[in-house]
């Protein structure tokens, strides 16, 4: 006898059931799949590049200081770095680090450092590939990123389209919503007179004019906003450290003991060495974004003489995000002995960080911290527009489509401040995780292109070329030729060598 199932016979799923199921998928995806793959890829790329993130740290610093100009009307290397930094340095650096320290104890901070160092190699590979496979956009701009290197490097139209759609929806809409949702909650908890909808209105007024101006307007805003806010935050931490200089060796010792389970008193509320590793790794990966395929969308827009220059610059962005800004948050909390005590549940998230600052510097810091957190989130919203706009262009969208994206992103920013988003939070994490899986497969397969570009860069530096210039056609260090119209020698100097010929994708 067959049984006919009707809709009425099926169990009804409540929103809580859906949320629980999504959270389970999210937790397993990040804990058992993505975290392992990201760390494995970081180790792999560190070995294959012979520790590029350490060997070329000085080059990164020199490149950053010399990359503010030379774009000839396009997006400069520094602007692309600032857009990537704007998206990286957000609420995760304030709230995420606090959550990691509470759950995993002081040792979680050490594992965030480990993830960042490995992630710098991954960021170098994916951002170099974004440059190698970039294409010309309107005017003097370029477009590049995972969708482009999946399409042109791997020849997959389908999977490049899947990545582009995921990025537009996840980064351009849902990430924006969860960022502004956190912002509104933090501000309302700190200053109850400021209602969430008020935060949303301010975001509309600030965001819409900039995003309607397109990528150039976003780059100009991020160029000063993101580095300035990161600098202010780090300087504030330096002041606090100077006030508690005698405690610093003890705090650093706690971080190391907690990282290796040497002192049970330093475990977080989740308990155990595993909690320190898991929380440090997960929060570190979420904060610095290395391998998720987001930052390469900004890296591919830059006008530069060599792909490796931008790869090094974006790798340095991971250093700034985690080694500087996340460490700043961790030290602010660990030095605040009245606000935070290992193994005890108390304040969590950004409220914990904010109260730690109040303990160190006084009640007057409440409003400055609110403003700082607001600008961190606002800069992340602008970075999300940049990432999404690149993928809109990839799918064939031009100026009108970009403007529609700007309006939708601004609406999402407002909606995030007034809605409760438990399911959206989980869906966002899952979508970002799927983007990361696609991106990791692509960059592992395409690694020979980035490694060839690195060898080309180092070979030119070895013979005294101060500013190496990349040519992607007929280059014996590459697996093949790059796309036409970008990294080709200029006709008037076609007879010159690769180490001398200016490339069409670079600066004059």
Q: Is 38 domain-assigned?
A: yes
Q: Is 464 domain-assigned?
A: no
Q: Where are the alpha helices (DSSP H) in 395-465?
A: 399-418, 422-462
Which 3-state string (H, E, C) describes 40-93?
Answer: HHHHHHHHHCCCHHHHCHHHHHHHHHCCCCCCCCCECHHHHHHHHHHHHCCHHH
SS3 344: coil
Q: How far apart are CA 465 and CA 95, in angstroms?
A: 44
Q: What is the DSSP string of 210-257?
A: HHHTHHHHHHHHHHHHHHHHHHHHHHHHHHHHHHTGGGHHHHHHHHHH
Domain count, the chain: 1
Instruction: Provide the residue range defining the domain that includes 103.
Output: 23-68+76-456
pLDDT digits (tens), the chain, 508 positions: 444 444 444 455 566 667 677 777 767 776 678 888 888 999 999 999 999 999 988 888 888 776 655 556 567 777 777 777 777 777 777 777 777 777 777 888 888 888 889 999 999 999 999 999 988 876 667 888 899 999 999 999 999 999 999 999 888 888 888 888 888 888 887 778 888 888 889 989 988 888 887 776 777 777 677 778 778 888 888 888 888 888 888 888 888 887 777 656 566 565 566 666 776 777 777 777 788 888 898 888 888 889 999 999 989 888 888 888 888 888 888 887 777 776 666 666 777 887 888 888 888 888 888 888 888 888 888 888 888 888 988 888 777 888 888 889 999 889 888 877 667 777 777 788 888 899 999 999 999 999 999 999 999 989 988 888 888 888 899 998 888 778 877 554 444 444 444 444 554 3
Q: Is 450 domain-assigned?
A: yes
Question: Which pLDDT belongs to residue 14?
Answer: 64
Question: Which pLDDT belongs to residue 70?
Answer: 52
Find the CATH number of the domain harbouring 173. Answer: 1.20.1740
Q: Is 13 domain-assigned?
A: no
Q: Is 125 domain-assigned?
A: yes
Question: Which pLDDT belongs to residue 505?
Answer: 54
Contacts of residue 293, Cβ cutoff 8 Å, sequence gap at least 6 = 126, 145, 146, 163, 167, 435, 436, 438, 439, 442
Question: Which pLDDT belongs to residue 343?
Answer: 62
Q: How far apart are CA 72 and CA 66, in angstroms?
A: 15
Q: Do 413 and 203 meet the contact criterion of CB atoms below 8 Å apart?
A: yes
Q: How far apart are CA 429 and CA 426, in angstroms?
A: 5
Question: Which pLDDT belongs to residue 5?
Answer: 45
Q: Is 506 domain-assigned?
A: no
Q: Is 103 domain-assigned?
A: yes
Task: Give, for 143, the enclosing helix (H) or strand (E).
Answer: strand 142-143
């Amino acid at each position: 006898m067959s049984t006919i199932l009707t809709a009425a016979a099926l169990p009804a799923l409540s929103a809580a059931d859906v949320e629980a199921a999504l959270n389970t998928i999210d937790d397993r995806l990040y804990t058992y799949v993505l975290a392992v793959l990201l760390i494995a890829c970081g180790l792999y790329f560190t070995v294959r590049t012979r520790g590029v993130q350490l060997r070329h740290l000085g080059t990164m610093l020199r490149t950053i200081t010399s990359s503010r100009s030379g774009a000839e009307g396009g997006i400069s290397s520094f602007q692309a770095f600032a857009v990537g930094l704007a998206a990286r340095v957000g609420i995760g650096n304030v709230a995420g680090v606090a959550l990691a320290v509470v759950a995993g104890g002081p040792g979680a901070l050490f594992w965030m450092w480990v993830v960042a160092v490995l992630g710098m190699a991954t960021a170098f590979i994916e951002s170099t590939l974004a440059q190698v496979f970039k294409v010309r956009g309107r005017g003097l701009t370029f477009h590049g990123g995972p969708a482009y290197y999946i399409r042109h490097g791997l020849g997959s139209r389908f999977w490049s389209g899947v990545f582009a759609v995921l990025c537009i929806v996840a980064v351009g809409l849902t990430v924006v919503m969860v960022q502004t949702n956190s912002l509104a909650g933090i501000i309302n908890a700190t200053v109850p007179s400021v209602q969430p909808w008020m935060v949303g209105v301010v975001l509309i007024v600030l965001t819409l004019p900039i995003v309607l101006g397109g990528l150039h307007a976003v780059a100009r805003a991020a160029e000063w906003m993101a580095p300035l806010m990161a600098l202010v935050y780090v300087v504030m931490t330096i002041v606090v450290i100077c006030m508690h200089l005698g405690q610093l060796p003890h705090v650093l010792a706690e971080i190391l003991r907690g990282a290796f389970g040497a002192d049970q008193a330093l475990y977080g509320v989740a308990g155990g060495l595993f909690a320190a590793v898991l929380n440090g790794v997960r929060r570190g990966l979420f904060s610095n974004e290395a391998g998720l395929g987001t930052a390469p969308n900004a890296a591919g827009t830059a006008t530069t003489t060599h792909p490796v220059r931008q790869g090094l610059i974006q790798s340095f962005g991971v250093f700034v995000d985690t080694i500087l800004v996340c460490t700043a948050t961790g030290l602010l909390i660990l030095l605040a002995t009245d606000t935070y005590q290992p193994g005890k549940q108390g304040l969590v998230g950004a409220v914990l960080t904010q109260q730690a600052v109040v303990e160190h510097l006084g009640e007057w810091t409440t409003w400055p911290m609110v403003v700082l957190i607001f600008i961190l989130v606002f800069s992340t919203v602008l970075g999300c527009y940049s990432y999404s706009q690149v993928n809109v262009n990839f799918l064939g969208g031009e100026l009108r489509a970009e403007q529609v994206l700007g309006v939708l992103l601004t609406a999402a920013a407002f909606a995030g401040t007034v809605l409760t988003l438990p399911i959206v939070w989980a869906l966002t994490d899952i979508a970002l995780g799927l983007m990361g899986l696609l991106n990791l497969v692509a960059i592992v397969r395409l690694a020979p292109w980035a490694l060839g570009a690195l060898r080309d860069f180092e070979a030119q530096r070895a013979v005294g070329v101060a500013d190496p210039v990349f040519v992607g056609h007929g280059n014996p260090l590459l697996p093949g030729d790059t796309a036409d119209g970008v990294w080709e020698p200029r006709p008037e100097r076609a007879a010159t060598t690769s180490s001398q010929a200016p490339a069409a994708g670079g600066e004059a």
